[in-house]
A and B are shown apart, each in its own frame.
Chain A
Amino acid sequence: MPKIKLQSLQSYSDAEILYQSLNNLDVANEALELDCCQIHFVDASCILALLTVSRLWFRWTGHETHLVGLRDNVHEHICRLNLFDLTGETLMDREPLEYEVQNHFGHVNDRRIIPQFIPSHAASNRLVMEDVLDAVEESIDVWFNDARLLRDVSMMLSELGENIIHSNDYGYLLLQRYRSRDFPGGTRLVIAISDLGIGIRQSLAHTNFIKVNMTDSDCIELALQHRVTGTDENRGIGLEEVRRLALQSAKYTELRIRSGTGVLNIQQNQVLKDDQLAAIPGVQITLILEGDSGHNFGVWA
């Protein structure tokens, strides 16, 4: 049975290792086993990476993915998220999950927002997205009590969610909050969104902006510019707005957009690019917002 031993699922870097491991595997007509013995905590970006890997493995082989050796707390976490039981799933009203993770990450709140966006069903996906935004706003309100942050996050998700709504393939969204000794005094909000659609390069293919020798990270950078992703319909201010909102929303912001083999990582005002990643279809976005402890989250709070 093909097997991947997971060392850690604590950040998007770990998600990248998982993607790379998947790419290095010989595809076999069997279930995929993910060894989770070492896992204490699953970051939102990694949860979506697990979903993506599972979906891709099923697409390639017709077989499922098994999580093996889950610790109790991670098991409970994942069970409550119903990660691999997505068929027919709809967003359910549920209290935010809170649990202890080996005294390292403090309290972790997850909002189970892995709704079933149905490929090519934009009308019903819009309704699902409305439920998602309700849940997100409720969580932000409870967690941070910050009206401006609530509005900014809602706007960002609204823009980012459009890709999923109109995607011809599966899309996921997860909101997570936690504190960690890794960022003293800081509360971290992680928003992870991914879809398995055509990706940014292909979505730019109909425009005049894309050049033959552009890398995937060049394409992502291009997509962040005003109106580049649109032509006659004047589309394409969404990502630019997300970047602007992210930078104004918190004391520390990181926006990471991954598509194909490229990634663009915007940390505060610094932009980092890489094009040596494993090839994964669609777009994977991780937005990290950090503020002070307690409710003093945003720069304007």
Chain B
Amino acid sequence: MFGHNTLYQQILLKMRTMITFTMQDLAKQVGYDGERRLRGRELGRKFQAGLREKILSTSHDELLRFDLRDVQMMDVSFIDELFGGIAEARGRGELSGAALLLVEVDPLDVDDIGRILAGRPSSSTGLRNCVVPLAESDSIRLLGKTEDYVQETFSELLQAKSLSTSELMSRLDLANNTASTRLKVLYDLGLARRVPQTESRGYVYHMLI
């Protein structure tokens, strides 16, 4: 038992590894040394490709903290391509890889990102969740649009910090497969991390921070 716990803690510790990068780092990665303002769809797509590469090349166990404090200005077209593109790919199940958490975002940019992501499902057929998490004080807020059950499950996980399927079942009075699916949806959207349970099949899901 002691051995299992130690292993479990080690996994948890590894899970909490965070990689922080800035917009300037991303700019360097995509070979951009142009204007200070980040404008237009063309540039947004370039940065989106770089961000996808970073997400895909980072272990699922790690968390990517995207620090935006060095951003002078992003226009809505750039935001739509960069964050909208990533959130939509997650929402469609086309992008796995490490979870992404936005940190140190200007409040006005927060408004813009949230509004643009929230508007995307209305014009993008079949897209139901288009969301990125934002670190705020000691909590995490979702920017964009989610289905009600996603928000509800996220709130439960945010409160509990970690949840197994059975724990979610009892908290929300759900059937086993429903609870399991809900937690997996969070994981697929990049809103949770998970580790295999040591004593049974399935996973324990953890809040991003």
Contacts and interface: CB of A to CB of B under 8 A. Distances in A.
A226 B123 contact: yes
B108 A130 contact: no
Interface stretch (A150-158, A169-177, A180-188): A150-158
A162 B73 contact: no
A159 B122 contact: no
Nearest to B109: A151
A126 B35 contact: yes
A158 B75 contact: yes
A197 to B, nearest CB: 16
B84 interface: yes
A237 interface: yes
A227 B123 contact: yes
A218 interface: no
B73 A234 contact: no
Interface stretch (B16-24, B36-44, B180-188, B200-208): B36-44
B76 interface: yes
B123 A238 contact: no
Nearest to B116: A237
Contacts of B41: 162, 233, 235
Contacts, number: 53
Interface in A12-46: none
Nearest to B81: A234
B39 A158 contact: yes
Contacts of A133: 37
B108 A151 contact: yes
Listed residue (B40, B73, B108) with the most chain A CB atoms within 10 angstroms of its CB: B40
A281 to B, nearest CB: 23
Interface string B34-58: 1111011100000000000000000
A126 B77 contact: no
B71 to A, nearest CB: 12
Given A151-B108, A162-B40, A234 B124 contact: yes
Nearest to B77: A238
Given A226-B122, A233-B41, A235-B41, A159 B35 contact: no
A227 B85 CA distance: 14
Interface in B63-110: 73, 75-77, 80-81, 84-85, 108
A77 to B, nearest CB: 30
Given A151-B108, A159-B75, A237-B77, A130 B123 contact: no
B196 interface: no
Contacts of B31: none
B77 A159 contact: yes
Interface residues of A, number: 21
Nearest to A228: B123
Interface in A245-268: none
A225 to B, nearest CB: 9
A237 B35 contact: no
Contact of A130 (B37, B76, B84, B122): B37
Contacts of A162: 39-41, 77
Contacts of A233: 41
A142 interface: no
Contacts of A127: 34-35
A164 to B, nearest CB: 12
A241 interface: yes
A148 B75 CA distance: 14
B34 A238 contact: no
Contact of A238 (B76, B84, B108): B76
B80 A237 contact: yes
A238 B44 CA distance: 14
A238 B75 CA distance: 9
Nearest to A238: B77
A241 B76 contact: yes
Contacts of B39: 126, 129, 158, 162
A148 B112 CA distance: 13
A79 to B, nearest CB: 31
Contacts of A151: 73, 108
A158 B76 CA distance: 9
Contacts of A126: 34-35, 39-40
B179 to A, nearest CB: 34
Given A158-B77, A234-B84, 6 more contacts: A130-B35, A130-B37, A151-B108, A227-B123, A234-B124, A235-B41
Chain A to chain B: the 5 pairs with minimum beta-carbon distance, closest first: A158-B75, A130-B35, A227-B123, A241-B76, A158-B39
14 contacts: A126-B35, A126-B40, A130-B35, A158-B37, A158-B40, A158-B75, A159-B77, A162-B40, A162-B77, A165-B40, A226-B119, A227-B123, A234-B84, A235-B41
